[in-house]
Amino acid sequence: MTAERAHRGDGTAGRSRLLVEATPALPVISLTVAAKAGATLDPAGKEGLLRTVARLMRRTGDGLTTEVIDERIDAMGGSVGVDVGHSATSIHATVIKRSLNDLVDLVVGILARPSLSEEELARLKRETTSDLIETRENDRELGQRWFRRRLFGEHAYGRSVAGTIESIGSLTHSDVVARYAQTFCSENLVFAFAGDTSPEEAQGIAERISSALPSGAPLPDTVPEPAMQPGRRLLLVDKPERTQTQILIGCLGTHPKDDDHVALHVGNTIFGGTFTARLMNEVRSKRGWSYGAYSNLPYDRHRRGFSLWTFPKSEDAAACIELELGLLEKWWQDGVTARELSWAQRYLVRSHAFAVDTAGKRVGQALDEVLYDLPPGYHSEYLERVRATTLEEVNAAIRKRITPKDLVISVVGTASTIQKDVTAKIGDLASVEVIPFDRDG
């Protein structure tokens, strides 16, 4: 951080939390206003509600039209966007230093004075419905959505942040107004600043925004921990005339508060976390079945899923799945070697520099710790924990957290072409489900 002469601040602004990573390297400031509330708050049948609220706020701030808001942002040389996940909602803004006050005025209007007009809501619902229909043409997104849906079932993480055609159609103006009032109160917000500012300036801006918002009770997190269903379950998302497939195989993964969280992360790096990992070597380098082959282990406020992702040709899909299952079984049974562990530790330590090389990335890590209730020191002690991880800890974590006999196997492809071979290669299937690619869900 000395190269950028960065200064970190961590405090409060009124009733809100404040994070600051200041550096004069460039005359640019990034501001994030985040709520510790996400799509898990959407009631069943109203999926996509909070995302709709956030997008509508961005389009109707201060009672302005979308066109006027966009013109003002362009004139400032800035950008303003919204992001809604399962556990958090954020408004991100970036602007050159001289336009900061104008940008803050606009953000206040978006957060505290959106018109949420019924006319704009109707337009947004039509656009969202069109986007959801268009998503059916993206095989990767289809695979990811249905994998999550079957992995988590009725748990909130299994529901779509964007919603479904049916749920978006059911949203009313009163739904939107009520969710806005519940979510965007000052006690529920976290402010994060990065760039050419100071802790004092950032606090003044945060208080200016926070004071424009009503007071209210912080939203509790009532989401339970997900549970894994037993057995191997195959889901075929049937799409006509596909020459390529999208395959996701996985189970529940890790939670940041698990004592073996870092150990499993190191083990995943060896198995499928890099371009030279086991999975890539076997699937792409040796056999040429898929251009990419990775395993993923994300974190959130609650336990997420561990997954393998490949996209072979239809004719290679069954053999690729068989290979992946075999690699997964071997990883679980035999663990990793001392040589692999040493390599992974060096790789993770050296590559970590790219995770903290800007003020925005550093404050983003601090923001994640607040939004997702990460353990204290999750990021600041990361390198120390990676270096301290032992071979026994890695292999124990793999055996404890990965469940090769309890898996969701999601395949996007043409069922009539691949179903028979895929089913035969998996074996020990608890269920087989075929759904049309254009099914709303």
HSE value, Cβ hemisphere, 13 Å, CA-based, for 234: 25
DSSP assigned state of 283: I
pLDDT, one tens digit per residue, over 256-268 is 999 999 999 999 9
Strand order in the sheet with 28-35: 7-13, 16-22, 189-195, 28-35, 89-96, 79-84
pLDDT class for 16, splitting at 50, 70, 90? confident
Pairing of the two strands 7-13 and 79-84: unpaired
d(CA 19, CA 206): 10
d(CA 441, CA 420): 25
Average pLDDT on 193-210 reads 95
Q: Which domains occur in the chain, in start order?
A: 2-210 (3.30.830.10), 232-436 (3.30.830.10)
How confident is the model at residue 1, as a pLDDT? 27
Summary mean pLDDT of the chain: 94
pLDDT, one tens digit per residue, over 361-390 is 999 999 999 999 999 999 999 999 999 999
Residue keyed to tokens 């519940």: 182
Question: Which of 12-21, 49-58, 186-195, 266-275 is predicted with the least confidence, judged by mean pLDDT?
Answer: 12-21
